[in-house]
Structure 1
Amino acid sequence: MRYIALLRAINVGGNSTVKMAELRALGESLGFTGVATLLQSGNLIFEASEAATQALEARWEQAVAETFGVPAAFMIRTLPEWQALIDANPFMAEAKADPAHLLALACKQDIPQAAVETLRAAITGPERIAAGERYLYAHYPDGIGRSKLTTKLIERHLGTLVTGRNWNTVLNIRSMSGATPQRAS
């Protein structure tokens, strides 16, 4: 089975630096095949015998901590889960018009609707959100850099770790993974 792994807070702002070539080599040493990376921000594709994503996350997290000495949170999804995230996007017009300002945030755990509502109430700017079981969509019409809808705020309200990718990266990961689009996006 092929998986998509997103690392949280890797190679951002000079912190928790992990070279992607070394990450690929680590994956191969763990027995995974077809290991590939996209960009320098912790986007990984790999193949493994069918296993629970939580067990794969724990295995990768332990290996990265032991090998590179940095804490790493992995959010792993199957290809069907990734395609479902793409297909369920409620902000398709925004994705087409300005994909850099639309984030898909993978969550470590399921998020209750009540937590999404408290997050929505905490938004003070023009940002809009929508959620699935283990992911959140966030549209930043005025840009992400100065927005008050930060990862820290999102995590505090949802009660779980998250890592975001802009819509261009979401689609590039799908393309790189070999998943077949099921509708125009």
Structure 2
Amino acid sequence: MTTKYAALLRGINVGGGKKVPMAELRAVLGALGHADVATYLQSGNAVFSSDEKDANVLAAELEQAIEEAFGFRVDTLVRDAEYLRAVAEACPFPASSLEARQLHVTYFSEPVTADRFASVDAAAHLPEEFRLGDRALYLYAPDGLGRSKLAVALSRPAVVKGAVATSRNWNTVVKLVEMTRD
């Protein structure tokens, strides 16, 4: 039985570096034997179906294929449809009453716990807020991510501590859920 997945590529097609055209990314995924391949936006979101049940195996294979195709490494997270839906449903903020630019989810390669973020003075960043989920962090940034001082504090290397982390705005979170729905 095949499973629907989303591949979340970190840091491509921004600032002139690490260019990965979406048509070529679709071709790479197809060459790996995946079906139902589609991409969303230019920021590294792809969905596909696979018989492989281990998302970490899929991520490692895709990272290797991208490096072979484009000549650089791209950190990649692969998450199944059930996980994506659960993250969206567990949002602790009133997503339906917020603008998409105000709400973001950062997906992590490993579980995130409160002690990882103990050095972040959350009260100093109000009205911005964050909450933790299952390998995810929800960020409410009323003025958008580009102006968020809390987002900067949350992305410091001492906080991320070697985990792969990649953020998506709420529109993208919802779209990936829709695209991976059977």
TM value normalised by structure 1: 0.88
* Native 8 Å contact 2:52 2:58 kept in 1: no
Shift of 1:62: 0.8
Structure 2: distance between partners of 1:44 and 1:136: 21
* Native 8 Å contact 1:32 1:46 kept in 2: yes
1:35-114 correspondence runs (5 A): 35-91=37-93, 93-114=94-115
Q: Which residue of 2 aligns with 1:183?
A: none
Q: Any gaps of 5 or more consecutive residues in structure 1?
A: 180-185
Structure 2: distance between partners of 1:10 and 1:111: 24
> AA paired with 2:61?
R
Structure 2: distance between partners of 1:80 and 1:50: 15
Structure 1: distance between partners of 2:113 and 2:148: 24
Is the aligned partner of 1:165 residue 2:164? no
Q: Which residue of 2 aligns with 1:2?
A: 4
CA RMSD of aligned residues (A): 1.9
Size of the aligned set, in residue pairs, is: 178
Q: Which residue of 1 aligns with 2:133?
A: 132
* Native 8 Å contact 1:127 1:149 kept in 2: yes
Structure 1: distance between partners of 2:152 and 2:34: 30
> AA paired with 1:88?
A
Q: Against the structure 1 CA distance between its residues 165 and 129, is the aligned structure 2 distance closer, same or farther, given a 3 Å change threshold? A: same
How much identity, in percent, do the aligned residues show? 38
Q: Any gaps of 5 or more consecutive residues in structure 2?
A: none
Structure 1: distance between partners of 2:96 and 2:124: 20
Task: Write out per-residue CA displacement over residues 60-97 of structure 1, whole angstroms, 9 at most, x where no aligned residue.
Answer: 11110111112211111111100100110001x24432
* Native 8 Å contact 2:117 2:154 kept in 1: no
> AA paired with 2:173?
V
Q: Which residue of 1 aligns with 2:144?
A: 143
